[in-house]
Amino acid sequence: MNKPVLMKALAAAAFALHAAPGFALDLMGAYTQAVAHDPTIAAAQQALAAGREKAVQGRSLLLPQVQLSSSATYLRDSSSSSSNLPPQLQDVVKPNASGTMHEVAIELKQPIVSARSRAEKKQLEQQTALAELQYRDAQQELMQRVAQAYFNVLLADESLRVVQAEKAAVSLQRDRAQARFDVGRGRITDLQEAQARLDAVLTREVQAQSTLALRRSQLEALTGAQADGLAALHPAFAPSAPQPDDALSWQEEAAQGATRVLAKQTEVSIAAFEIDKYKLAARPTLDLVASTGYKGQSGGLSELSSPDGKRSSVIGLQFNVPLFAGGAIVSKERESIAKRGQAEQELAAARRDARLQAQDAYLSVKTGVSRIGSLEQSVRSAQTALEATTLGRDVGTRTELDVLDAQQRLYTAQLDLAQARNDYLIGRIKLAASAGALAESDLHSLNGFLAARSP
């Protein structure tokens, strides 16, 4: 079984395990499905396979080159002076002869001294290293896309749940206001306010349903799996500060280890070897050359025009010194120097961007910890305030409008908490990716925050 087929089989088996009755698709299951389904990572795998051949091509530059050549030529030979030759030569130089001459030869050429070929070999090896880095970047980018799509579904699902809970509560308040108004104990303004709140909640519910459908479609397009009944955040979810808990450490790690920074460093090396290629193009080359061949004929041709059954073997050294190429090599050297300067500036820009991305992700995780804790307390306080306001309404010290306001503050706090948790989880993924350290172990770690539930 070849590798792509094996990977797809393993992915299908893993998905079957996650999709078994009583279990929901979790983050790792979604990533496993995406690896087998996403065309972007499949394209990256093919690019990696192509890039690895560059190193093979580089090694071939210093290995023996063997070629086989063969030819067949029809020849018609006529001579008016052969009758004046001595009799012993007339059989050799025939006045009229035709026939076919054929030749076959094998030649071996082994580079001994070739500075340009060695520089080109190193350049091709760097191109293979670049392909490896680009594939690693594609893997990390896929992990980010899967995590973001997965947690966006959870956020949209939680937002819809909160909005539906708010709708039920506001509907109850509207019905209470209607009943109080019908018996003459309520005001029309309370009823109108409750109806207006309900209409606004119904609008938000439609929007939340649309957002959830879109987020599920995005995850399904990425993984090829149904996005219903995903494993949700565990009730005991507790965020933790990034390790190390220092922004400068993350910035320095990103500037040195981010995959896109490493890729730019490799591009600088490739550009440097390109300069070496043209600088060394004028250096002498020395090759070992050996060949063996056979020449024959048919049709009665003269031995002088086409020997028959001649075998020859040659071995020697071939020395070449390039003298002048019309100025093209010097021009290409200047071009490659400019391109190296371009690559160096792109490397500096990549390091700058990596530092900024690491700082942004670090602050997202760092502030997310305190933000989640604050919002959890805010939800508890809003719940307590709602209970107190409801009791006050029942004893006549608060109005229906006060209860509606208290309910809205509670549900707003719940939505803010859901958003903060989503930002924190995605921030952790981005922080690891900014340093070039994002791996499946990070997804396993986030997967531990999830609690499986039946679809």
- Interval 388-424: pLDDT, tens: 999 998 888 888 788 888 988 999 999 999 999 999 9
Give the tens place of pLDDT for each residue, 154-213.
999 999 999 999 999 889 888 888 888 888 877 888 888 889 989 999 999 999 999 999
Q: Give the pLDDT band of residue 303 (cuts 50, 70, 90).
A: low
- The 3-state secondary structure of the chain reads CCHHHHHHHHHHHHHHHHCCCCCCCCHHHHHHHHHHHCHHHHHHHHHHHHHHHHHHHHHHCCCCEEEEEEEEEEEEEECCCHHHCCHHHHCCCCCEEEEEEEEEEEEEEEEEECHHHHHHHHHHHHHHHHHHHHHHHHHHHHHHHHHHHHHHHHHHHHHHHHHHHHHHHHHHHHHHHHHHHHCCCCCHHHHHHHHHHHHHHHHHHHHHHHHHHHHHHHHHHHHCCCCCCCCEECCCCCCCCCCCCCHHHHHHHHHHHCHHHHHHHHHHHHHHHHHHHHHHHHCCEEEEEEEEEEEEEECCCCCCCCCCCEEEEEEEEEEECCCCCCCHHHHHHHHHHHHHHHHHHHHHHHHHHHHHHHHHHHHHHHHHHHHHHHHHHHHHHHHHHHHHHHHHHHHCCCCHHHHHHHHHHHHHHHHHHHHHHHHHHHHHHHHHHHCCCCCHHHHHHHHCCEECCCC
CATH among 3.40.190.10, 1.20.1600.10, 1.10.10.10, 3.40.640.10 for 3-62+115-282+328-451 = 1.20.1600.10
Q: Which residue ranges make up each domain of the chain? A: 3-62+115-282+328-451, 64-113+285-320
With 80 as the cut, is the pLDDT of residue 429 above it? yes
CATH number of the structural domain 64-113+285-320: 2.20.200
pTM (2 decimals)? 0.82
Q: Give the pLDDT band of residue 98 (cuts 50, 70, 90).
A: confident
Identify which of 5-19, 54-68, 227-241 has the greatest average pLDDT.
Answer: 54-68
With 90 as the cut, is the pLDDT of residue 47 above it? yes
